[in-house]
Chains A and B, each alone.
Chain A
Amino acid sequence: MSAILPQKVLHDLAGLWATMGGHADSGTETGASAGVLRACTMTLVVLLDDLPGAEAAAVQQRAGEAIAMVMREHPSRTIVIHLRPSGDAALEAHVSAQCWMPFGKSQQICCEQIDITATEAALSDVPGVVLPLAAPDLPLVVWCRPARLFRLPAFAGFFPLAGKVILDSAGFPDTGAILGDLATAIASGKRVCDLAWTRLTRRRELIAQIFENPVYLSQIATVTDVRIRCTGSAIPVSAYYFAAWLKQCLESGGAEPRLQFVSEGGEGRGELAVVEISGRNHVEVELVEGAVFEARVDTLANRTALPVFTDDALLREELGLIGHDPVYEKTVGLAAKLASGWEMEFH
């Protein structure tokens, strides 16, 4: 990592802005620049695998698109770390700007991006490079796109810098292990979030909304059974999260529900299909197709089209929450226990 001189990178950034400013015209009534508007509300560090092959390239491209989309809502200095599995440790950095012209406006909004290439073996050196490059006085968030990096000892160096670490456990093969690591990190005071949990927000909201009705709310203590029906060959992480969250919510409402995971069959990585809450009322929330959910309470049914879970939509939600997330922090511990087989029925 010695090849990267933070001062030079910062100098290049300043030069970039000077060049962009030089292209701007000066036609406003006050003479203020109408060309580009520099915006920055945080530093976003993105860790990406830099692997050969078309599939890896597609993953990189999707991540790049997500970063570009996220910047519009959370303008940031983005530091993208491209991690190669092996190679020369003498690495490089270059700077660029992501700009967009809001519809109907005459001024471009620009955010700066620093791309750093490193080997995975040098991961422990990366925090030392990131620290001087971070935008001062603003939060720093790390998006650890390959969840496996989170489990590497070298990743620990990011925690002192990061106000928040974002990862996505959905694709991680060992659900129990990653949930265990997340629970451990949170128990030690680290701020970590999981996009697999973020994907559940709108579905959790549907459940919460049903219980806004005082009639149903008053019946919570009568709930006896919770069934989580999933597709696929194994219980997905989302099912553990949802089950843990429901169990805790219902228990705090006075219920003592039995928890069942029910397999709906299928191969490969599955997903959470139907949630059933049975007591004096019977509540079901089912993924009907695509992103359309049907909420049923006894005989009343209502369909809702939820937003599609794109990476940028999930990131936007997480970047809007810098700080503790008590509901998630409370849930992840129980989810990890459920994933390790604690108090679970599976049919």
Chain B
Amino acid sequence: MLEFMPSGNPFQDPLRFERRVPECTVVIFGANGDLTKRKLLPALYRLAYEQRLSPGFAVVGISRTPMTDERFRENMRESVARFLEDAPFDEEVWTGFATGLFYMAGDVNDPVCYQRLATRLRAIEETRRTGGNVLFYLSTQPSQYAAAARGIGAAGIASGNGWRRLVVEKPFGHDLKSARVLSDALHEVFDERDVYRIDHYLGKETVQNILAFRFGNGIFEPLWNRRYINHVQITAAESIGVEGRGSYYQEAGSLRDMIQNHLLQVMATIAMEPSATFDPGAVRDERAKLLRSIHVMKPDEVAANAVAGQYGASRVGAASVLGFREEPGVDPQSRTDTYAAATFFVENWRWAGVPFYIRTGKRLPKRVSEIAIHFNAPPHDMFDASGDGARPNLLIVRIQPEEGISLKFLSKQPGSGMKLRPVSMDFNYGSSFGGRSPSAYETLLLDAIAGDATLYTRQDMVEASWAAVEPIAAVWSEQKFDFPNYPCGAWGPEAADQMLARRGHVWRKP
């Protein structure tokens, strides 16, 4: 099924050995950017530290800044030492890893850059014995994706002795039409099976664990439908603001930046049908089917089912916090949503009538991402419970921080009489598995090198997600909002509470 462990290698011991990947060169366009420094190189170094990479592994960084290989190595060393999470920096491992780091100054719009890259890749293939395998990673401005793909194609390096794959960071377009245009441009050069659209949320251990939890256990799946589940709440809250990304963020907004990709993918993972196998194609087929089953709102349904918000200046604790419109690089009249909430329905037998509430925002009270599955209350309340005792069962999948799963249920309070009290049964990743969890980028990079696209987004999934959010974006683009409509440190605008109250529901406060 996957390429990472050829059955022909008699030395493999799958029970004990970590997953291994073939030799390859990773070409990073945008090698001087923040993503490379903060995420990609620390993740690759960490994979090297854990011996997940092959000895001949190589990286070619490309950006406009002139730099020698040595200078690039020194810069990356500083970045890795600084941004490495939950792991020590080992000088000896770095020394070995750095011998495989190379740099080329070049402009993605200049054909000469790709000719030079071709020469460099041939040399690396020879000296590092990479077998000609190349992973191109576009960590540039999205507007340069098409040019980079075409440049790779024109230079004849989209194919070679080994496999060639392309990793693309979000956003995958800014609406359905532009997503298709981008996709067409990538497909001029790469087959869809070789395009890896990265969504780092899907690389998180807890999101992957949703599949294990749902389909590895027999007791939950029978309850996983409209008969037992009342509604689902998906929350991705940030306590910080735009943190210097104001100019980017005001073009995107939370609906496009979070819901269209990360949170609809999470929803698809929670709600998808089981696939027959864990084959990447089969899993992604089911995710895509779910996304296509999301009810596409009509314009007159948007007001009741979607809420936009923008944070205003306020005091949090003892500190004054700027409103979005006061942030550097942000238009003082900006209409960008820093908060978005929406109610989605899935039109299939399993989920008909079950609301999926999704919310995300900046400057909310805390940083938390979770999925809360609210089960139906018992059909008859024999204990005459009221107040706390009336709370229905709740299953919470915590994505970050404190990754884990909690089940809330009622228990008899000790003592005479039948007083019920909610209690929590907790599974905590950190305490149950003492080992360090890999970062999302470690997981996803390793998967891409191994040819495992299970956690990557496919074009039909991108299009289905855009189809779900585009009507909301279209209505909002015509609407005049009374922004700001929530203060920093609050759980969003009141309208979001009202959206749930219409169906008798209340947002959970994580």
Chain A interface (Cβ < 8 Å from any Cβ of B): 28, 30-32, 37, 39, 41, 72-73, 75, 102, 105, 107, 109, 201-202, 204-215, 217, 220, 248-250, 252-253, 292, 295, 297, 300, 302-306, 316-317, 321, 325-327
Contact = CB atoms under 8 A, between A and B. Distances in A.
A75 B21 CA distance: 31
Given A72-B434, A209-B54, A212-B23, A37 B428 contact: yes
Interface stretch (B9-17, B280-288, B294-302): B9-17
Contact of B15 (A28, A39, A206, A321): A321
Interface in B288-336: none
Contact of A305 (B8, B12, B18, B93): B93
25 contacts: A31-B422, A37-B426, A41-B432, A72-B434, A75-B431, A102-B431, A109-B431, A204-B13, A204-B17, A205-B16, A205-B18, A209-B51, A212-B6, A212-B9, A212-B22, A212-B23, A213-B54, A213-B56, A215-B131, A252-B10, A305-B92, A305-B93, A321-B15, A326-B15, A327-B13
B11 A213 contact: no
Contact of B430 (A105, A207, A208, A209): A105
Contacts of B216: none
Interface string B420-460: 01111010101111110000000000000000000000000
Given A213-B54, A214-B6, 8 more contacts: A208-B13, A209-B20, A217-B6, A217-B9, A253-B10, A306-B51, A325-B15, A327-B13
B46 to A, nearest CB: 14
B366 interface: no
A210 to B, nearest CB: 7
Nearest to A73: B434
Nearest to B97: A302
Interface string B352-379: 0000000000000000000000000000
Interface residues of B, number: 41
B90 interface: yes
Contacts of A317: 16
Interface in B399-438: 402, 408, 421-424, 426, 428, 430-435
Contacts of A207: 11
Contacts of A202: 51
A212 B15 contact: no
A336 B12 CA distance: 22
B226 interface: no
B96 interface: yes
A28 B388 CA distance: 14
B173 interface: no
Nearest to B430: A102
A303 B92 contact: yes
Contacts of A213: 22-23, 54, 56, 129, 131
A220 B9 CA distance: 9
Contact of A208 (B20, B426, B433, B434): B20
A319 B10 CA distance: 25
Contacts of A209: 20, 51, 54-55
A325 B421 CA distance: 46
A72 B96 CA distance: 32
A30 B10 contact: no
A208 B12 contact: yes
Contacts of B12: 208
A303 B16 CA distance: 21
A207 B51 CA distance: 12
A109 B428 CA distance: 10
Given A31-B422, A212-B6, A201 B430 contact: no
Nearest to B402: A105
Contacts of B51: 202, 205-206, 209, 304, 306
B125 to A, nearest CB: 11
Contact of A39 (B8, B55, B56, B431): B431
B9 A211 contact: yes
A19 B10 CA distance: 54
Contact of A212 (B20, B93, B408): B20
A20 B434 CA distance: 22
A201 B424 contact: no
A73 B435 contact: yes
Most buried by A among B11, B129, B431: B11
Contacts of B90: 305
Given A31-B421, A304-B51, A327-B13, A39 B432 contact: yes
Contacts of A302: 55, 96
Given A30-B424, A72-B434, A209-B55, A217 B15 contact: no
A325 B23 CA distance: 28
A31 B96 contact: no
Interface in B124-176: 129, 131
A154 B92 CA distance: 48
A41 B16 CA distance: 20
B312 to A, nearest CB: 28
A105 to B, nearest CB: 7
A41 B424 CA distance: 19
Given A209-B51, A217-B9, A292 B92 contact: yes
Interface string B253-287: 00000000000000000000000000000000000
A98 to B, nearest CB: 13
Contacts of A37: 426, 428, 431
Contacts of B129: 213, 215, 300
A208 B17 contact: yes
B7 to A, nearest CB: 11
Contacts of B15: 321, 325-327
Contacts of A303: 92, 95-96
Nearest to A325: B15
Contacts of A204: 11, 13, 16-17
A208 B9 contact: yes
Nearest to A254: B10
Contact of B131 (A211, A214, A297): A214
7 A-B pairs with the lowest CB-CB distances in the bound complex, closest first:
A73-B434, A72-B434, A208-B11, A302-B55, A32-B424, A249-B10, A252-B10
Contacts of B9: 208, 211-212, 217
Given A209-B54, A300-B55, A305-B92, A217 B8 contact: yes
B221 to A, nearest CB: 21
Contact of B16 (A105, A201, A220): A201
Interface string B19-63: 011110000000000000000000000000001001110000000
Contacts of A248: 10
B255 to A, nearest CB: 30
Contact of B11 (A109, A211, A214): A211
Contacts of A208: 9, 11-13, 17, 20
Contacts of B56: 213, 300
A110 to B, nearest CB: 10
A244 to B, nearest CB: 13
B157 to A, nearest CB: 20
B100 to A, nearest CB: 9
